[in-house]
Amino acid sequence: MSTSLSNPPISSNLDGSSLLVAWQLKGKTVLIVGGGEVASGRIEAVLSADAKVVVLAPAKGLHPRTKRFIELCLDHITYYDRHFSGPAELHKMDMVLTALDDPNSSRQIVELCREQRIPVNAADIPDLCDFYFGAQIRDGPLQIMISTNGSSPRIAALLKAKLSSALGGYEGESIRRVGELRDRLKDRAPGIGGAVSRRRMKWMSQLCNEWDMEELTQLDDSMIVKLLDEGWEQNRVPSVHDVGGKSKLRRGRLSKDVFQSTFQDFQAIPYGGSTVLPAALGFLAGGVSVAMLFMYHRQ
């Protein structure tokens, strides 16, 4: 299919789904009403987002996991042993989650939240929710949420198991290391928008395309410095081996087309000095790499 800038492709699936975002809760306060098993999952989810949590539920209905969280996370959870008592409970809340065995109370709490424009989820009444939870896979900064938009939470849970088993276990660490490199790159070449931003984006994308994801877990302090000195400063992307790491060459890891297109995009970006020498060297290195990949594929 050919595309052009005047006729860019847009999704044909524009309605009937929900907005998927990574909501930032650090420093915010979340009220959880209810203390059963569902509430315990909510507590875990908001704690992983560094929120302050207020739990409101009679002690006699607490699930053992909810109890454990309350006992272990004293710094993060404020617990009140009582039923929801009215609008004053919502004071200064940034989000409210109800997980009750009493739909009437759920409904009332949701209405109060609406009046105060506080985003709310009621575990038992999807129609009243501002947002749904989903099945979650977490590995450090990697967060995968599977949502069936209210149609089949069980299938979301089953898909989670399927997707988890397809992961290698190193992705979270790769992402953490790349995050560190991105921060250091922004320190070295600061600025928002414009040519420097475009050049940073191309360089980062090319690195992630060319290195195997598992290789990225090796990015320690000294490799990061080398990458920036010998890669970024010289307008090239060294291999993991070039900066003192161990290569992990896999069959089919990078197609010739992908390599050539990212490499050409990267060359097209101007930077401080002359682009002729690095471009020529890059072209030579690119040619050699493509030839090596080609030979590798033919073995």
Ligand X SMILES: C[C@@]1(CC(=O)O)C2=NC(=C\c3[nH]c(c(CCC(=O)O)c3CC(=O)O)Cc3[nH]c(c(CC(=O)O)c3CCC(=O)O)/C=C3\N/C(=C\2)[C@@H](CCC(=O)O)[C@]3(C)CC(=O)O)/[C@H]1CCC(=O)O
Q: Which stretch binds ligand NAD (CB under 6 A): 35-43, 140-148, 158-166, 275-283?
A: 35-43
State residue 265 phi and psi, 5-degree precision.
-55, -45
Which residue of the set 94, 102, 124, 242 is catalytic?
A: 124
Q: Which of 240, 229, 286 is nearest to 263 (CA)?
A: 286
Q: Which of 218, 210, 189, 208 is nearest to 259 (CA)?
A: 210
- The verdict on whether 124 is a catalytic residue reads yes
Q: Looking at residues 79 to 108 of the shown chain, list those that interact with ligand NAD (rule: CB under 6 A).
A: 83-84, 99-102, 105
Residue 38 and residue 14 in contact, taking contact as beta carbons nearer than 8 Å? no
Q: Does 148 bind ligand X (CB under 6 A)?
A: yes
Token pair for 216 = 């990225």
Q: Does 133 bind ligand X (CB under 6 A)?
A: yes
Q: Does 151 bind ligand X (CB under 6 A)?
A: yes
Token pair for 176 = 């953490």
Q: Does 61 bind ligand NAD (CB under 6 A)?
A: yes
Indicate the residue among 3 and 165 with the shorter CB distance to ligand X: 165
Residue nearest ligand NAD (C-beta atom) = 36
Q: Does 229 bind ligand NAD (CB under 6 A)?
A: no
Per DSSP bridges, beta strands 120-122 and 95-98 are parallel
Cα–Cα distance list, 41 to 25, 65, 272 (Å):
16, 9, 52
Q: Which positions from 48 to 87 touch ligand X by CB under 6 A, shown as an x/- string?
A: ----------------------------------------
Q: Does 102 bind ligand X (CB under 6 A)?
A: no
Q: Does 201 bind ligand X (CB under 6 A)?
A: no
Per DSSP bridges, beta strands 142-146 and 135-139 are antiparallel
Residue 113 and residue 96 in contact, taking contact as beta carbons nearer than 8 Å? yes
CB of 97 to ligand NAD, least distance (A): 10
CB of 95 to ligand NAD, least distance (A): 16
Token pair for 267 = 């060359």
Indicate the residue among 36 and 278 with the shorter CB distance to ligand NAD: 36
State CA 26 to chain mean position distance.
15
State CA 144 to chain mean position distance.
7
* Dist CA 28 CA 54 (whole Å): 11
Q: Which residues bind ligand X (CB under 6 A)?
A: 41, 121, 123-124, 126, 129, 132-135, 147-154, 156-157, 160
Contact residues for ligand NAD (CB under 6 A)? 33-39, 56-58, 61-63, 83-84, 99-102, 105, 123-124, 153
